[in-house]
Amino acid sequence: MDNGESSYRRFLDGDDSAFGEVVAVYKDNLIFFINRYVKNFAVAEELAQDVFVELLMHKRRYNFRTSLKTYIFTIGRNLAVSYIRKCSRKPECAYEFIENEQDTTALEDEFIREEEKRELHEALGRISDDYSTALHLIYFEGMSYEQVGRVMKKNKKQVENIVYRAKKALRKEIEKEARLP
């Protein structure tokens, strides 16, 4: 995967919609990266927007010698460091950091939960249909084993066996994914 470089090339060739693809690929991770420096999620969002404005305004500066991700995150780091320098001359910036730190932690936790949900959903797609159906109906739809049995045309004992095997298969898939580099 080229991580947005082909989209950026299309943007340079005149496809304005391709820039949205670049933003979609990098926006969230860039915000969290910048936030590590500035410790203020709102400021990190603004600085991330500034990164993309920089990318728009100076289209031809990126020379494809490094990855687009490296280029974007370098701009983000530079803007964050500039912001911190500017803030060090204005003591009132420090108070902004303190009041937004809890918001940042909550947003990072939300991001991690969403990522875990995505990984779980992908792992469910890699196990058998009966297994994923049973797990989905029980854990996402809140159905009882009897209700699942009616939907799947199985008795309660069969559903219990399927759920047991499904959990085992799902655990195996998640562990397999965790071992990948």
- Got the DSSP string for 50-113? HHHHHHHHTGGG--SSS-HHHHHHHHHHHHHHHHHHHHHT-THHHHHHHHHHHHHHHHHHHHHH
Q: How confident is the model at residue 92 (pLDDT cuts 50, 70, 90)?
A: low
Q: Is the dihedral of CA 70, 71, 77, 80 positive or negative?
A: negative
Bigger pLDDT: 171 or 5? 171
Identify the pLDDT of residue 95: 42
The answer, yes or no, to whether residue 96 has pLDDT greater than 60, is no
Average pLDDT (63-84) is 83
- Inter-residue contact 143 to 133 (CB < 8 Å): no
Q: Is 79 a member of any domain?
A: yes
**Four-CA torsion 54, 55, 56, 60, nearest 10 degrees:** 110
Q: For the segment 138-151, what is each residue's pLDDT rounded down to a tens digit? A: 887 777 898 888 87
- Inter-residue contact 160 to 175 (CB < 8 Å): no
The model's pTM is 0.51
Q: Is 134 a member of any domain?
A: no
Bigger pLDDT: 108 or 53? 53
Identify the pLDDT of residue 91: 57
Identify the pLDDT of residue 77: 86
Identify the pLDDT of residue 2: 59
The answer, yes or no, to whether residue 1 has pLDDT greater than 50, is no
Q: Is 137 a member of any domain?
A: no
Type and span of the H or E element at 29: helix 17-38
- Inter-residue contact 47 to 36 (CB < 8 Å): no
Identify the pLDDT of residue 164: 95
- The single residue listed with the structure tokens 């303190």 is 98
- Which domain CATH number covers 14? 1.10.1740.10
Q: How confident is the model at residue 105 (pLDDT cuts 50, 70, 90)?
A: low
Contacts of 153 (CB under 8 A, 6+ apart): none
For residue 48, what are the domain limits? 1-100
Q: Is 59 a member of any domain?
A: yes
Number of domains in the chain: 1
SS3 152: helix
Contacts of 31 (CB under 8 A, 6+ apart): 41, 44, 45, 48
Q: Is 28 a member of any domain?
A: yes
Q: Is 74 a member of any domain?
A: yes
Q: Is 164 a member of any domain?
A: no
